[in-house]
Amino acid sequence: MYRILIIEDDRTIANAVKNHLEKWGFEAKCAENFKDIMSEFTEYSPHLVLMDIGLPFYNGFYHCSEIRRISKVPVVFLSSASDNMNIVMAMNMGGDDFIAKPFDLTVLMAKIQAILRRTYDFGSETNVITHKGAMLNISDATLTFNGEKIDLTKNEYRILLTLLENKGKVVSRDFLMNKLWETDSYVDENTLTVNVSRLRKKLERSGLSDLIETRSGMGYIVE
């Protein structure tokens, strides 16, 4: 399920958008602490941000530039200040689209869905496995988290796919080795250890710490 953060200080608009998104099956959250938007952003880890320009304390341009320091997650500006200067500024600050107020919720939804498809290569539900905000696309063997793609080797992809397909279950090292190297030839167990270690480091660098847990003497698990 995609998570959308709504950064809008007009509660009537924010709640209307939130309710509409939830009717379409999205998870949505309205920002509450306008003094510290980045804490809410990092804690919620949204797949897309809807951003007003005129906000308390700091404007939407500032918050978008701060988000761009750590993430490529799509940002869509919503504003009644729809003159050319503001539209250009929004795009220069890293915005992905600009929708003028008042807007039609149906049009807003169509734009959100189009951006999500482009960003996350969304094909069909069955081709995507999601967990803790991460999305593993089986169609093209890519992993996306927080709007950024994480490059995986063939073995790293197979390890992660196997663990995600067995979420909540311990996957033995023997099972993983058979999945990775379907051959009668002998493969050193250390090779699996090295692959898992490299995968973990990539995940940690992208903010996915402790995704893969080791169960001593048993194997690995994604809780």
Q: Which CATH number is 187's domain given?
A: 1.10.10.10
pLDDT of 7 higher than 80: yes
Q: Give which of 94, 159, 93, 148 is closest to 119, Cα–Cα.
A: 148
pLDDT computed for residue 101 by the predictor: 82
pLDDT of 186 higher than 60: no
DSSP characters for 110-131?
HHHHHHHHHHHT---GGGEEEE
Where is average pLDDT lowest: 91-95, 153-157, 162-166?
A: 91-95
Contact assessment for residue 155 and residue 208, using Cβ atoms and an 8 Å cutoff: no
In angstroms, rounded to a whole number, what is the distance separating the alpha carbons of residues 96 and 49? Answer: 10
Q: State mean pLDDT over 109-118.
A: 86
The domain boundary residue, chosen from 85, 120, 155: 120
Residue 62 and residue 87 in one domain: yes
Q: What is the CATH number of the domain that holds 46?
A: 3.40.50.2300
| Residue 20 phi, psi dihedral angles, 5° rounding | -65, -40
Where is average pLDDT lowest: 64-78, 87-101, 107-121, 184-198?
A: 184-198
Residue 70 and residue 137 in one domain: no
Q: Output DSSP code: residue 216.
A: T
Q: State mean pLDDT over 16-23.
A: 91
Contact assessment for residue 42 and residue 98, using Cβ atoms and an 8 Å cutoff: no
pLDDT of 125 higher than 70: no
pLDDT in tens, 66-108: 888 888 889 998 877 666 777 887 777 778 888 888 888 888 8
In angstroms, rounded to a whole number, what is the distance separating the alpha carbons of residues 25 and 65? Answer: 29
Grade residue 122 by pLDDT with cuts at 50, 70 and 90: very low
State the residue range of the domain holding 191. 125-221
The domain boundary residue, chosen from 99, 120, 141: 120
Buried b (16+ CB within 10 A) or exposed e, 78-116: bbebbeeebbebbeebbbbbbbeeebeeeebbebbeebb
**Structure-block tokens of residue 146:** 């927080």
In angstroms, rounded to a whole number, what is the distance separating the alpha carbons of residues 50 and 30? Answer: 10
pLDDT computed for residue 45 by the predictor: 84
If one counts the domains in the chain, the total is: 2
